[in-house]
Amino acid sequence: MAVRPHLPFVHAAMFVGFTMLVAGPVVLPASEFAAALGDAARTLIWTLWFPLVFLSVLLTGRSWCGVLCPMGAASEWMNRIGPKRPVPGWLRWEGTPIVSFLLVTILGHTVGVRDYPSAILEIFGTTLLAALVVGFFYGQGRKKRVWCRHVCPIGLLLGVFSRLGAVDLVPKRLKPDGDGYDSRGLCPTMIDLGRKTESRHCVMCARCVHPEKRGGLALRFRAPGAEVADIARHHPSPSEIWFLFLGTGVSLGGFLWLVLPEYQGLRFALVSWIIDNGYTWLGEPGPAWLVSVHPEAREVFTWLDFFLISGWMVAVMLSLTAVLAVLQAAAAWLAGRLGAAGGFRERFVALSYQLTPPAMVSLLLGLGIDLFKLVPAGAAAPVKIAALAIAVAWGAWLGRRILGRMGLAGSRAALAMVPGLAAGLSVAAAWWPAVVG
């Protein structure tokens, strides 16, 4: 753990670099350097950062959050000087990071965060400001990261996927009674370290690791997906399941409006209806903070575009969520009929975790579009197909393991797997336009 004393310097360097990257192209005078910095920001964020951070959780958990993330570090710095108020109930609500992710994702699409430096500054600058404010006001004890645990738009996303990871920090002497919340202990994300059984809130900062001591936590290597396969022992959470459903759906909606001709057909029909009925204000450009207004690039979104893009993404999200929820409910019901242990709700939550690999790959396809541009054109589609196939197969294998923990084996387990497998295939089928273009 010799790296710990140097982390403040890493955090400071990341903060300075991140600030320059997102703010420089907008605040600097127009020049070749500013334009090059804008291109670098788009490349680093959308081609490398988002996709590789997703993939990194399979190897090192949420190490990005604890070691490199400038927002988490900045929030922790503010906590040192702030009033250290207790975290309010509305902030501790498990739906807060879900709402945060959905709002940022939808707003990112309407303002064009993939294409314009001003949109990058708006989304990431506002997020950084929110991290500073939350860090300043809330978090008892020392060096707390209330932002990372309760609010961060991608914190829950990385936390869920870290359950698939190959490393974990585990108590050397595990206390009974399951996971707990400790607002004044050593852990920056308020984990009761002695009762830690899940990896989703752990940012791998290693402050709790002291190899020379008999207490604390120790690094443990495990088979990828082991925590999900035995999810009943690792504090399964309904909020994570609904995030898997909703997050996958909203990302899908954000991709499909860009590529499906049905979206353009709907838009043209609504334009005609607006003209015929006199709602001309919907054809006016929206505010630049809410939609993309870039006449120099021949892109000016109207109020209609804002409502239509947002409505489309929400509609796709709710539709996919309904399909996945029905299929997983069928899996839970069928497993119960075949003799699986536990109540319906318990089985529904546990079996829904088998969608974690397909959800991860689907988000990679949606948010990591530019990453696949690095692959030769003829190989991109096979790579995407292989990724989806592996994800669905891995999810089915995890479902079989979860059913085994419920007491089902053999033909009964195989039969109970069918609805869950159908759910994984539904995710893959929904993302097929991302494969064929």
| Residue 63: alpha-carbon gap to chain centroid | 15
Mean pLDDT, to the nearest integer, of 53-82? 92
- What's 67's DSSP letter? I
As a 3-state breakdown, the chain gives helix, strand, coil percent values, each rounded to 5, of 70, 5, 25
**Residues whose CB falls within 8 Å of the CB of residue 55, separated by 6 or more in sequence, listed in order:** 364
Q: What span, in angstroms and rounded, lies between the C-alpha atoms of 270 and 83?
A: 51
Contact 111, 292 (CB under 8 A): yes
pLDDT tens-digit series, residues 113-127: 999 999 999 999 999
The confidence score (pLDDT) of residue 133 equals 96
The pTM of the full predicted model, rounded to 2 decimals, is 0.93
The confidence score (pLDDT) of residue 248 equals 94
Domain locations along the chain: 4-160, 237-274+289-436
Closest Cα partner for 402 from 338, 331, 355, 354?
354
**Residues whose CB falls within 8 Å of the CB of residue 371, separated by 6 or more in sequence, listed in order:** 47, 48, 51, 52, 364
Mean pLDDT, to the nearest integer, of 147-162? 93
The confidence score (pLDDT) of residue 370 equals 79
pLDDT tens-digit series, residues 244-302: 999 999 999 999 998 899 999 999 999 999 999 999 999 999 999 999 999 999 999 99
Q: Which of 235-239, 370-374, 378-382, 407-411 has the lowest mean pLDDT?
A: 370-374
Per-residue confidence band for 437, with pLDDT thresholds at 50, 70 and 90: low
Q: How far is CA 406 from CA 294, 317, 396, in A?
A: 55, 30, 15
Closest Cα partner for 292 from 35, 104, 114?
114
In the predicted model, what is the mean pLDDT of the chain? Answer: 92
Per-residue confidence band for 389, with pLDDT thresholds at 50, 70 and 90: very high
